Structure 1
Amino acid sequence: MKIKEIIVVEGRSDTVAIKRAVDADTIETNGSAIGEAVLKRIELAYERRGVIILTDPDYPGTRIRRIVSERVPGSKHAFIPKEKARKNNRTLGVEHASDEAIRQALEEVRSIGKVNYQSAISISDLIKAGLLSGAGAKKKREALGERLAIGYANGKQLKKRLDAFEITVEEFTQALKDIEVMEESRT
Structure 2
Amino acid sequence: SCFPKDVQALERTAHGVGFEAKLLGAVEAVNYAQKGKLFELIERHCGGQLKGKTIALWGLAFKPNTDDMREASSRRLMELLWAAGAKVRAFDPEARGETKRIYGERPDLVLCEDAYQALEGADVLAIVTEWKAFRAPDFARIRGALKAPAIFDGRNLYDPAQVEEAGLAYYGIGRGRSLASVPVPSAAVLRPAAMA
Q: TM-score, normalized by length of structure 1?
A: 0.30
More contact order relative to length (CA 8 Å, sep ≥ 6): 2
Q: TM-score, normalized by length of structure 2?
A: 0.29
